[in-house]
Amino acid sequence: MADYHLQAATAEQETAVKSLIRAVHINPLGLDWRRFVVAVDAHGAVIGCGQVKPHGDGSRELASIAVVPGWRRQGVARAIIQRLQSEHAPPLWLTCVSTLTPFYAPFGFVEVRETAVMPPYFRRVYRLFGLFARFSSQTGTLAVMVWPGDT
């Protein structure tokens, strides 16, 4: 078993969290260390992170899930996601590249393709990504997913 533990992020870990987010090239907006859960190795280094980010429309987003490359495939992201789900009631929303939907499905997340049922924030992001994709050489599509909890 890997030698790490989860904890609420501290102010001292803010720089490490932001550096990890930049290093894995995910959305660097809305990074408030007070919302983060971090995975910390035996030497005290941040090896993974994640947060639940609130939006103005009342929706909440599972976001900023990142793991240092050398620690991937060791259950770090799974532990972070499960911890955040245990601390936040559904529904939780997320956005990801469509190739990652199978990763989130075992946690109970389902893809939502009907924009009418998406909260306004996610509807805007989905539509903007679609417009951007039409005018760029970027491949892949954006998926919007929700963890509805027990249905």
Q: pLDDT for 22-74, tens place per residue?
A: 999 998 888 999 999 999 999 999 999 999 999 999 999 999 999 999 999 99
Q: What is the pLDDT of residue 138?
A: 55
Q: Which residue has the tokens 């910390």?
A: 40
Residue 130 vs residue 83, higher pLDDT: 83
Residue 48 pairs in a beta bridge with 39, 67
Angle at the Cα of 23 from the Cα atoms of 70 and 87, rounded to 5 degrees: 80
Identify residue 37 by its one-letter amino acid code: V
Given a cut of 70, whether residue 80 has pLDDT beyond it is yes
pTM of the model as a whole: 0.91
> Cα(137)–Cα(3) distance, rounded to whole angstroms?
41
Q: How far is CA 136 from the centre of its chain?
A: 24
